[in-house]
Amino acid sequence: MCVIFIYTMAKKMTIDDLVAMVKRGFDDTAKETVVDKRFYEVDKRFDEVDKRFDRIENILLRDHLNRIERLEDTVLRLKVKAGMR
């Protein structure tokens, strides 16, 4: 059986270490900004898709409403001819 002991000594913080830590922080922030930009672009595209679906839905609804009104008019004329109204 082999046992390995790892000893760590407290490392003193140097200016170079601090600079490296700050740089990593800014690099991570820059990456988040890129991700945020991509999400914004995706949101814009979904907004455009939503607008297109809304237009299609409105066209279909108008068409169905027109068809229903024509059918109601036809039924009314048939009732008048049949003497039911």
Please give the distance of CA 1 from its chain centroid, rounded to a whole number.
Answer: 56
Above 70 in pLDDT, residue 5? no
What is the distance between the alpha carbons of residues 21 and 24, in angstroms, rounded to a whole number? 5
Task: Check residue 9 and give its pLDDT.
Answer: 52
Residue with tokens 């046992």: 3
Number of H helices, E strands in the chain: 1, 0
Residue, of 61 and 2, whose pLDDT is higher: 61
Residue, of 51 and 15, whose pLDDT is higher: 51
Q: Which two tokens stand for residue 49?
A: 């898709």
Express each pLDDT in 28-64 by its tens digit: 776 777 778 888 999 999 999 999 999 999 999 999 9
Task: Check residue 60 and give its pLDDT.
Answer: 96
Q: Using alpha carbons, list the distances in angstroms from residue 36 to 24, 31, 42.
A: 18, 9, 10
